[in-house]
Structure 1
Amino acid sequence: MSQLYGIQVLRAFAAFMVAVHHVQPDAVVLAQRSGASFAPSNLLPWMAGVDIFFVVSGFIMVHSSEALFDSKDGPRLFLLRRLARIVPLYWAATTLFLLAALVLPGALNSGPPDAGQVLGSYLFWPVLSTSGLVQPIYSLGWTLNYEILFYALFGAALFLPRPAVVPAVTLALAALVAAELLAGPLPLPFGFWGQPIVLEFAAGMAIALLRRRGFRLDGGARWLVAGVGVVILVLAAHLPGTETPWTSFALRGSAAALLVMAAASGSGRSAPSALVRGLAHVGDASYALYLVHPFAIRGLREVFARLAPGWPGLFVLAALAAAVLAAILVYRWFERPTTRWLRRRLGA
């Protein structure tokens, strides 16, 4: 299957947005310690990178699982491949975070986790933290709790005939959201799974079906669609009251869907430039970038706190560069070989 460079570039952009969101509070801390000035950027709602990830995930599951539809072994292969891809790096990041917290208790933003939260974190099961939030020990894993739900539903739907797979997953996601909307708040895990953000997976699947049926946009139309998506993101960053689950879904989710549509609807016939190939390589490492960037950011903050606390702007650039470099190294030397090894061992 040919590589969709636009989707890979968008994955890099999404992970970088999340990193920008997380680096800025650390820059503020440095500025406060040194008396320097630093004004965080609110140009975009940086955590909307997660919304882009979810729409991309819905698209990729349909696009890359073509051979598994109507296959007797499809559900097993799909779930094993997704677990081989997701579990090792997340478990490694969670374990590293726990070890760091033992050495530096201040690394935790809440009290020490109990056994239930530890178990839920490793099993991708939504649980309450000691601070009362529904998140795992390594808080970035809240998105993976949604991803695993989506994978479970998609894998189960692969038992159905090809035309029914996407409608069945969409109906299941919509039923969870409707139950939370009409009868909520529901107890965990249903109250967590029933948030409107899960509908972004359905949007990505719909875009994949459109592409499969021949939907394409020429260069000008693709840029127009992408531009509208960016404008909506900017509005989401500046309009009041856009942080509720439904308004966030309406703005950030629709923007993410437009960006994925633009990225996925090219003909794929033109050769990508060196810049696009480079960004696509970062996109390959986007999962690693999402999970390792807090370690790079916090490590660089401690270096700057000792050597250059009065340069928060330089810290931002250095931390983001370090996060990208660390992600590429982790992808090349841990994530990719571990995934391949596990797939061989699992027969997937």
Structure 2
Amino acid sequence: MSVKEGSSNGFIERLESLRGVAALWVAVGHSMIWLVIGSETAIWSKRVWEVHGVQANLARALITFFSGAAAVDIFFVLSGFVLARSLAGAVLNPASYVQFVVRRLFRIIPAFWFSLLVVLLYLTVLYPGHAVMPGASEWFNHWYADPLSVKAVLENATFVSPWLNPNAWTLKVEILASLLLPLIVWCIGAKGMQGSAARSTLVLVGTAALAWFYRDAPSDLAHYVYMFVVGALVARHGGAVRQGLLESNVFVVGCVMLVVLASACYPLIHPLYADVMVVAGSAGIICALSRGSQAKALAILGTGWARFLGRISYSFYLLHFIALYATGTVLLHLLPSEIVIRWPLAVMVAGCLISIALAVPLALLAFNWVEKPFTLIGRRVSIMQAGVVRQ
């Protein structure tokens, strides 16, 4: 969700830039794991100090600072914050709930279906066919090994399977969490409401307990719902944090380092302890940005490229994987296997740059011709649907 869309309390540009930076993390993170590096076949499943070899260590260091797993957590906390702000002061009733859900579906699904169309065009027109290529990682070889079928397309379009676009599992979590957000916001209570702090604590503890029970289910909503709650709590109670603390570079850098440490000390597969560290760090960053902090450590989010990437971040997030997969497939067919096996880091860096260069214009096209128009349609449809419910 764009930070602008649905926010009734004003547009915070640097929060949108944060989403763009997080989308770039996912792109770089994926770009560093599609080849085997020496004896390391899955560097994302190991801690930094468990990886061996110069190239493998450099790649693991890159995905420590560009962690796709951490980026997903940031997305979820940020969504909880933005959606809670958009619901501030709203009365929870069937009409307002329908209005909210319709807007969310029109915001998320059309761009996702467009990404599936791009994938299908690639697989049916340009894809040379699946083959296990020398040097490719198990993660890369896993995708598109099965024959394309109508059943597979329907399962992907309805979020039953993420086979065509592996990022789809996060959209399923996002949609299900969005269905719960109005209830979560109501449970937390409005600012200044008597007992709001106690209610907020109860909701956070309850959803954190749910995450603990589902800690071994890293694609399940129960594993992540507390992240949306944390975002909503920042929206509700962030104003109580001292502005001087939020202006401190030490505080902001500390929040960033918490995210980086989680990515260094744990495998990048959403272990609960790592997620909690990332959520805490991202909550602090979001709180600082929402309060207008001018800490120098946040200056990067005010740059032109960050603002641009923030605007197209959702489409970029959806489309980069197919650009990377297509780029990787071409490189594996063009380059001698000896080069791929001996210099995998250099090949992956080249693939990263090429795939980002391909994904950015495609994402800009999707943003202008799919995201924006369907977001506006969703607003109009939600108003009509709300009127029908009231009647």
Question: TM tier, shorter chain?
Answer: 0.7 to 0.9
2:362 — aligned with what? Answer: 326
From 6, 9, 17, the equivalent of 2:14 is 6
| AA partner of residue 222 (structure 2) | G
1:121 matched to 2:143: no
How many residues get paired? 325
From 98, 103, 114, the equivalent of 1:76 is 98
2:387 — aligned with what? Answer: none
1:144 — aligned with what? Answer: 171
SS at match of 1:206: helix
Task: State the alpha-carbon separation in 1 of the partners of residues 269 and 28 from structure 2.
Answer: 18
Taking structure 1 as reference, are residues 67 and 346 closer, same or farther at Cα in structure 2, changes over 3 Å only? Answer: same
Q: Give the C-alpha shift of residue 294 in structure 1.
A: 1.4
Query: Normalization by structure 1: what TM-score?
Result: 0.75
Taking structure 1 as reference, are residues 302 and 284 closer, same or farther at Cα in structure 2, changes over 3 Å only? Answer: same
1:263 matched to 2:298: no
- Structure 2 alignment gaps of length 5 or more: 1-8, 38-54, 131-140, 340-345, 385-391
Task: State the alpha-carbon separation in 1 of the partners of residues 376 and 352 from structure 2.
Answer: 34
Point out the more displaced range, 304-313 or 320-329: 304-313
SS at match of 1:139: coil
C-alpha contact 1:5 1:277 (8 A) present in aligned 2? no
C-alpha contact 1:5 1:276 (8 A) present in aligned 2? no
1:32 — aligned with what? Answer: none
**Cα deviations by residue, 1:211-248 (Å, 9 ceiling, x for unpaired):** 4x464634873532321122122222322567562122
| AA partner of residue 192 (structure 1) | D
Taking structure 1 as reference, are residues 75 and 121 closer, same or farther at Cα in structure 2, changes over 3 Å only? Answer: same
- Structure 1 alignment gaps of length 5 or more: 30-36, 130-134
SS at match of 2:370: helix
Q: Give the C-alpha shift of residue 302 in structure 1.
A: 5.0
Task: State the alpha-carbon separation in 2 of the partners of residues 166 and 220 from structure 1.
Answer: 21
Q: Give the C-alpha shift of residue 321 in structure 1.
A: 3.4
**Cα deviations by residue, 1:80-129 (Å, 9 ceiling, x for unpaired):** 111110010112212432454455353834534787765453334xx4x5
2:247 — aligned with what? Answer: 221
Taking structure 1 as reference, are residues 345 and 315 closer, same or farther at Cα in structure 2, changes over 3 Å only? Answer: same
1:233 matched to 2:259: yes
1:287 matched to 2:322: no
Task: State the alpha-carbon separation in 2 of the partners of residues 83 and 252 from structure 1.
Answer: 27
Task: State the alpha-carbon separation in 1 of the partners of residues 277 and 321 from structure 2.
Answer: 26
Taking structure 1 as reference, are residues 109 and 116 closer, same or farther at Cα in structure 2, changes over 3 Å only? Answer: closer
Point out the more displaced range, 114-123 or 17-26: 114-123
Task: State the alpha-carbon separation in 1 of the partners of residues 357 and 176 from structure 2.
Answer: 32
| AA partner of residue 149 (structure 1) | L
1:111 matched to 2:119: no
Equivalent positions of 1:335-346 (< 5 A) are 335-346=371-382
Task: State the alpha-carbon separation in 2 of the partners of residues 230 and 342 from structure 1.
Answer: 35
2:80 — aligned with what? Answer: 58
| AA partner of residue 92 (structure 1) | F
Task: State the alpha-carbon separation in 2 of the partners of residues 180 and 10 from structure 1.
Answer: 25
Equivalent positions of 1:293-304 (< 5 A) are 293-301=320-328
Taking structure 1 as reference, are residues 216 and 117 closer, same or farther at Cα in structure 2, changes over 3 Å only? Answer: farther
2:67 — aligned with what? Answer: 46
Task: State the alpha-carbon separation in 2 of the partners of residues 283 and 204 from structure 1.
Answer: 18
C-alpha contact 1:216 1:265 (8 A) present in aligned 2? no
Point out the more displaced range, 318-327 or 331-340: 318-327
Task: State the alpha-carbon separation in 1 of the partners of residues 214 and 259 from structure 2.
Answer: 31
Q: Give the C-alpha shift of residue 264 in structure 1.
A: 2.0
SS at match of 1:224: helix
Query: Normalization by structure 2: what TM-score?
Result: 0.68
Task: State the alpha-carbon separation in 2 of the partners of residues 223 and 276 from structure 1.
Answer: 18
